[in-house]
Amino acid sequence: MSSLTPEITRAIIRIILAGTAAGLLGGLVGSIRSSILGSVLMGAIGGVSLAVIIRIANLDPFDAAFLDAGQGFSYAWAAIGGILMGYVTTRSSG
Protein backbone atom coordinates (compact mmCIF):
# COMPACT_ATOMS: atom_id res chain seq x y z
CA MET A 1 0.00 0.00 0.00
CA SER A 2 1.18 3.48 -0.74
CA SER A 3 0.85 6.37 1.63
CA LEU A 4 -0.47 9.81 0.83
CA THR A 5 2.33 11.91 -0.52
CA PRO A 6 2.30 15.69 -0.11
CA GLU A 7 1.59 16.08 -3.84
CA ILE A 8 -1.56 13.94 -3.66
CA THR A 9 -2.66 15.72 -0.49
CA ARG A 10 -2.33 19.11 -2.20
CA ALA A 11 -4.24 17.87 -5.26
CA ILE A 12 -7.07 16.56 -3.09
CA ILE A 13 -7.28 19.86 -1.21
CA ARG A 14 -7.48 21.67 -4.57
CA ILE A 15 -10.36 19.53 -5.81
CA ILE A 16 -12.12 19.91 -2.45
CA LEU A 17 -11.96 23.69 -2.83
CA ALA A 18 -13.19 23.53 -6.44
CA GLY A 19 -16.07 21.26 -5.43
CA THR A 20 -16.92 23.53 -2.50
CA ALA A 21 -17.19 26.62 -4.68
CA ALA A 22 -19.21 24.76 -7.30
CA GLY A 23 -21.48 23.26 -4.63
CA LEU A 24 -22.27 26.73 -3.33
CA LEU A 25 -23.18 27.83 -6.83
CA GLY A 26 -25.28 24.70 -7.41
CA GLY A 27 -27.05 25.20 -4.09
CA LEU A 28 -27.93 28.78 -4.89
CA VAL A 29 -29.25 27.79 -8.31
CA GLY A 30 -31.26 24.95 -6.76
CA SER A 31 -32.91 27.09 -4.11
CA ILE A 32 -32.11 30.65 -3.17
CA ARG A 33 -33.16 29.79 0.39
CA SER A 34 -30.72 26.89 0.56
CA SER A 35 -28.38 26.18 3.41
CA ILE A 36 -24.98 27.60 2.56
CA LEU A 37 -23.14 25.17 4.81
CA GLY A 38 -25.05 22.20 3.39
CA SER A 39 -24.38 23.28 -0.17
CA VAL A 40 -20.68 23.75 0.53
CA LEU A 41 -20.33 20.37 2.23
CA MET A 42 -22.29 18.47 -0.41
CA GLY A 43 -20.34 20.24 -3.14
CA ALA A 44 -17.07 19.15 -1.56
CA ILE A 45 -18.28 15.55 -1.35
CA GLY A 46 -19.61 15.54 -4.91
CA GLY A 47 -16.52 17.21 -6.29
CA VAL A 48 -14.10 14.79 -4.69
CA SER A 49 -16.24 11.79 -5.61
CA LEU A 50 -16.52 12.58 -9.29
CA ALA A 51 -12.91 13.72 -9.66
CA VAL A 52 -11.66 10.52 -8.04
CA ILE A 53 -13.94 8.30 -10.13
CA ILE A 54 -12.77 9.95 -13.34
CA ARG A 55 -9.13 9.67 -12.25
CA ILE A 56 -9.47 5.97 -11.41
CA ALA A 57 -11.29 5.26 -14.68
CA ASN A 58 -8.75 7.36 -16.61
CA LEU A 59 -11.51 8.91 -18.74
CA ASP A 60 -10.70 12.61 -18.58
CA PRO A 61 -11.67 14.27 -21.89
CA PHE A 62 -10.65 17.68 -20.46
CA ASP A 63 -6.96 17.03 -21.01
CA ALA A 64 -5.95 20.67 -20.63
CA ALA A 65 -3.04 21.84 -18.50
CA PHE A 66 -4.98 24.65 -16.82
CA LEU A 67 -7.67 22.18 -15.61
CA ASP A 68 -5.13 19.85 -13.99
CA ALA A 69 -5.24 19.97 -10.21
CA GLY A 70 -2.22 17.68 -10.00
CA GLN A 71 -1.66 13.94 -9.77
CA GLY A 72 -4.29 13.22 -12.44
CA PHE A 73 -7.16 15.07 -10.75
CA SER A 74 -9.17 17.61 -12.73
CA TYR A 75 -10.71 20.88 -11.57
CA ALA A 76 -13.39 20.45 -14.23
CA TRP A 77 -14.70 17.17 -12.83
CA ALA A 78 -14.52 18.47 -9.27
CA ALA A 79 -16.62 21.47 -10.29
CA ILE A 80 -19.12 19.34 -12.23
CA GLY A 81 -19.52 16.93 -9.29
CA GLY A 82 -19.82 19.80 -6.82
CA ILE A 83 -22.42 21.72 -8.77
CA LEU A 84 -24.51 18.60 -9.40
CA MET A 85 -24.43 17.49 -5.77
CA GLY A 86 -25.14 20.98 -4.45
CA TYR A 87 -28.05 21.43 -6.85
CA VAL A 88 -29.61 18.01 -6.34
CA THR A 89 -29.48 18.12 -2.56
CA THR A 90 -31.01 21.60 -2.29
CA ARG A 91 -33.75 20.74 -4.79
CA SER A 92 -34.61 17.50 -2.99
CA SER A 93 -34.61 19.02 0.48
CA GLY A 94 -37.31 21.48 -0.50
pLDDT of residue 1: 54
DSSP string for 26-86: HHHHH-TT--HHHHHHHHHHHHHHHHHHHHHHT--S---GGGEEETTEEHHHHHHHHHHHH
End-to-end CA distance of the chain: 43
Residue 1 lies in a domain: no
Q: Is residue 48 part of a domain?
A: yes
Asked if the structure places residue 3 within a domain, the reply is no
Q: What is the residue range of 51's domain?
A: 9-92
Cβ–Cβ under 8 Å, residues 63 and 27: no
Tens of pLDDT, residues 30-80: 887 778 898 999 999 999 999 999 999 998 887 788 899 999 999 999 999
CA distance 51 to 81: 7
CA dist., res. 82 & res. 94, Å (int): 19
Confidence of residue 94 (pLDDT cuts 50, 70, 90): low
Residue 61 maps to a domain: yes
Domain assignment present for 62: yes
Q: Answer yes or no: is 71 within a domain.
A: yes
The total of structural domains in the chain comes to 1
